[in-house]
Amino acid sequence: MWFLKTWRVNFFILAREVKKYRAKTKKILRHFIP
């Protein structure tokens, strides 16, 4: 079941990237919208 493991790892990495991206967009939105 190695493919399942890699899929879970990829999902974890993707979720982390999405969190980072959302934090960045929130900062930008806060900067533009008072």
Q: What is the pLDDT of residues 1-34, one digit of tens each?
A: 677 788 889 999 999 999 999 999 999 889 887 7
Nearest to 13 by CA among 21, 25, 23, 24: 21
pLDDT score at 21:
95
Question: What distance in Å separates the CA atoms of residue 6 and residue 26, rounded to the nearest whole number?
Answer: 30
Question: What distance in Å separates the CA atoms of residue 12 and residue 29, rounded to the nearest whole number?
Answer: 26
pLDDT score at 5:
85
Per-state percent for the chain, helix, strand, coil, to nearest 5: 90, 0, 10
pLDDT score at 1:
67
pLDDT score at 33:
78
Q: How far is CA 29 from the centre of its chain?
A: 17
